[in-house]
Amino acid sequence: MKLEELYERHGENLYRYLSFRLGSAEDAEDVLQEAFCRFARYALRWRLVRNSKAFVFRTARNEANRFLRRKLGRREGERMILSGAASGFAAAFVAPEEPSLAMLLSQIEKLPAEQKEIVFLKVFDGLTFKEIGSACGISANTAASRYRYGLAKLRQAVEGKR
């Protein structure tokens, strides 16, 4: 697959994921560009990859982590990485006329980091548990259980708001 095809196929979803992870559209653009520069440098290696979707998300996730360490310093960057995605995603990506979606996204932001990322990748980017596991460095079963726990917490939160 050519680099252009890779961007056509995954660019929009990667941008959305990075915006969620970093909490900033500008930072997401920078990191997305870095990720595609990395793809270009290692073109021979990624052409051998069987699952390009999992690979590009894993690479984007790693680039986001590098970016946070550079921007915030190693210690603060690690803290941010461990705490999960930055806040503000709902405000940046949801139209004011969609209050139920905004409420759902604000509840997703309150999930523990490991559940938040899995729910986001599954719901908004449509990754399979196998792809999520590959992207996050965990097993597909772990991804599925974190998703299940995250959905249970979201269900409780939404039912509590009624």
Tally Cβ neighbours within 10 Å of residue 54.
19
Q: How far apart are CA 94 and CA 108, in angstroms?
A: 13
Q: How far apart are CA 89 and CA 20, in angstroms?
A: 5
Q: Return the pLDDT at 133.
A: 92
Three-class secondary structure of residue 9 per DSSP: helix
In the chain, where are the structural domains located? Answer: 3-161
* Contact of 75 with 118, CB cutoff 8 Å: no
Q: How far apart are CA 111 and CA 104, in angstroms?
A: 11
pLDDT tens digits for the chain (162 residues)?
677 888 899 999 899 889 888 888 899 999 999 998 888 877 666 666 667 788 888 888 889 888 888 887 766 655 555 555 454 444 445 444 555 666 777 788 888 988 988 998 888 788 899 989 988 889 999 999 999 999 999 888 878 765
pTM: 0.63
